[in-house]
Amino acid sequence: MMSVLLAAALAACTADTPGPGPATTGAEPACDRTLDAAFGAWARSGFSGSVAISTGGRFECLAGYGSANDATGTRNTPDTVFSIGSVTKAVTAATVFGLVDDGKLTLDDRAGRLLPELAGPVRAATVRQLLLHTSGLTGSHGEDYRPLSRDAAVAALGRLRLAFPPGTGHAYSNGGYTLLALIIEKLSGRSYRDYTASRILSRPGGRVAGGFWNGTPAAAGPRAVGYLDGGGTGQRGDFGGPHWALDGNGGLAMTARQLASWTHALFTGAVVSGGSVAAIGRPGFDLGDGRSETPGWVALAAKVHGMPVLMTAGGGGDVGHNVVVAWLPERQRAVVVTSNRPGMTAEKLLGAIGPALFAGDPVPVPGTSAGAVDGAGIVGTYRLGTGGSFEVTARDGRMEISAHGADGVAALLPPRGVPPGDVRRHAERVSALLAGRTGEGRTERGLIESEFGPITAVTPAGTILADGELRSYVTVTTGGRSVLGWYAVDANGGVQGAELPTGAPALSFVRSGDHYRPDDPTGGGPEVTVAFAGDRMTVTGPAGGTTARRAG
C-alpha cells in the first residue's frame, strides 16, 4: 500500500541500552541527545523497528528499537532485515529505467509489444502508464502466499479488466508492477530476480543491497519477526513459491542501513543515469493536495512541508512489517524507518513527528498515559440493542475493547477524517466483490470456498481506517461456520488487501479521569471515549453516544 506520510529521524546510542531503547552495531555516529530522549519515549510507547538517516551519503543516525524476536530475545538493529513490501515498486521502477538506459525499451512502448504472450486489454497500456498506476489495470492477479508461476501470472494479468482507458485515470495496481517485472525478465534475458539483484541492487565492493523475503536470492542477515493484530506472528520468509503474485510489487527485503544507502545511490546517479533519475523524481499523475505519482514514489510539493520530498512506503499484510522511505533532494538526505509491531507502525510514528521535524521544530514526544486500568467490575461482554457487542478485557494496566457487528464497529472505531459517504461506498464495494459480481469477486469466492466450504451468507461487519486505508469487515458463513475477515478495495472494487480469517477490530484504552480514552500516543486514531456506570458501557464519538449493557 502507498502512503504519503513523512519520514523522521531517530537517534542512535550505545548497544547495551536496556529496555526498548536504541541498539546499534559497531561504532555508529552519535546523535543529538534531545532526539535520543524523544525517540526513546516513542519506543517506550510501542515503537519497535530500525532507523537509518544519511545526508550526502554519510550516515548521521543508525538505530534499532525494541524486539526483533520475542522468543529469542533478539533486538532490532540497523542491520535487521525487514520485508519492505510495496517499497519494492521503487526498485522495480529503477530496474525499468536501467533497461531504458540500455536502449532495451522506451516509456511509450506498449505492454503487448514487449510481452507478446500477454492477452487482454492491458496489452494497450504503456510502460509509463504502468509505472504511474494510470494503466487502468484493477484487481488482483494472485494471492501473495499461494504459488503462482510465470505463465499463470501472465494469464491472470491478461484476464484482469481495466477500470478506465489507459492514461485517463489513476488506480494503484500491484498487478501493473508484476507486469513490469515480467517485461524486465523478457527484455533482460535473465530472471527478474537475478537481474534486479545484479543490476540494480548491487553496490560497490561486491555488496548487494538486500534481496528477497521469500526465495532466492535471499536477503542475508538476521530477520525481524512481524507481529500481527491479535498477537500472531507474520510470514517468516519460508514460502517456497513460485512467487509471481509478489514479484515486482512487494517481494524484496532489506535492512534500514541498506535501504538508505540504496536510496542515496539511486538519486545521485549511481544506479541509473542522471536522465532516468530526473524522470523518476518528476511528478507524473496529480493526486491532489500537493501530491503526485512518480515512477515507484509519491512526490510531495514544497508547499506541503516547505521543501520537495519523495516518499514510498509498504508493509502490513501477512508479514507484519511496515517500512517508510523519504528522500529530500535539496539536502540529499535519505530517511528510512521500519517497524515490526502493529500498535506503533513506522507510518504512524512518522505521521506524528514528521511535520515538526521538517519544519525544524522540536520532535514531539508521546502524551503520557493516565491511570492504569485494573479491570475490576468492568470486564465482560456488553451488548447493543441493535445486535452488536463489545468485549472488554484488561491486562498489564491497559483495557482492550473489541467490537463485534457493524453497529459496534461504527461506534468504537469511526474512521477519522473520512466522509461517511466514502465509508458507506467502500463497504458496498466489498459486498459487491463477495457477491461475485465481477471476475475477481468470483475468484475470491472460489478461494474462500476451497478453504472453508460453500458460502451461504456474507454479512457486513463494519468499516475502519487502518494503516492509511479503509478496511471493511465481513462475516462469511460457510455451512455451520462463521469466519470474520476484512477487505480493502480501491474505487473500482479491486482488492488492495485482505485478511481472512482475522480477529475482531479492537482498541486499547487508558484511564483519563472518570472515563477512558484510546491509548494512542500519535493522536491519529478514532476520537472516542468510554465510560462505565453499573452494567452500562457508553461509547461517545463524533456521532454521539452509544450505550451497551453487560450480558449475564
Of 121, 115, 198, 114, whose CA–CA distance to 150 is shortest? 115
Give the pLDDT score at 110: 98
Same domain, 446 and 388: yes
CA dist 202 and 206 (Å) reads 7
Q: Does 397 lie in the same domain as 345?
A: no
**Mean of pLDDT over the chain:** 89
Q: Which residue has the cell 465482560?
A: 380
Residue 46: DSSP 8-state: T
The reply to whether 73 falls in a domain is no
Is residue 311 situated within a structural domain?
A: yes
Q: Are 302 and 412 in a shared domain? A: no
CB of 193 closer than 8 Å to CB of 217: yes
244 and 333 in one domain? yes
Give the strands of the sheet with 322-328, arranged side by side. 22-23, 58-65, 49-55, 333-339, 322-328, 309-315, 297-300, 291-294, 285-288
Q: Are residues 205 and 344 in the same domain?
A: yes
Q: What pLDDT is recorded for position 370?
A: 52
> Is 398 within the bounds of a domain?
yes
Tell me whether residue 116 is in a domain. Answer: yes
Identify whether residues 193 and 336 lie together within a single domain. yes
Whether residue 310 is found in the same domain as residue 407:
no
User: Strands, DSSP E only, in 56-190?
Assistant: 58-65, 67-69, 74-75, 81-83
218, 220, 213: which is closest to 246 by C-alpha?
213
Q: Going by C-beta distance under 8 Å and a sequence separation of 6 or more, which residues neighbour residue 43? A: 20, 21, 22, 65, 66
On whether residue 371 sits in a domain, the answer given is no
**How far is the C-alpha of 399 from the C-alpha of 391, rounded, in Å?**
10
How far is the C-alpha of 418 from the C-alpha of 464, rounded, in Å?
A: 10
Label residue 315 left, alpha or beta by phi (over 0 means left) and psi (-120 to 50 means alpha): left
User: Within this chain, do residues 354 and 411 fall inside the same structural domain, yes or no?
Assistant: no
* Tens of pLDDT, residues 139-178: 889 989 999 999 999 999 999 989 999 999 999 999 999 9
Same domain flag for 277 and 391: no
203-224 residue pLDDT tens: 888 889 999 999 999 999 999 9
Is residue 274 included in any domain, yes or no?
Answer: yes
Only one residue has cell 457508553, namely 538
How many structural domains compose the chain? 2
> What digits encode the pLDDT tens for the residues 275-311?
999 999 999 999 999 999 999 999 999 998 888 999 9
Residue 524 lies in a domain: yes
pLDDT grade, residue 467 (50/70/90)? confident
Beta-carbon neighbour count of residue 227 at 10 Å?
A: 21
Residue numbers of the domain that contains 328 = 85-358
Tell me, yes or no, whether 47 lies in a domain. no
- Shared domain for 352 and 387, answered yes or no, is no
Same-domain check for residues 439 and 334? no
Q: For residue 112, give the CATH number of its domain.
A: 3.40.710.10
* pLDDT band with cut points at 50, 70 and 90 for residue 495: confident
Please indicate, yes or no, whether residues 407 and 346 belong to a single structural domain of this protein.
Answer: no
Residue 395 CA to residue 508 CA, distance in Å, equals 10
Cα–Cα distance for residue pair 427/207, rounded to 1 Å:
47
For the residues of 381-437, what is the DSSP string, one character each? Answer: EEE-TTS-EEEEEEETTEEEEEEESHHHHHHH---TT--HHHHHHHHHHHHHHHTT-
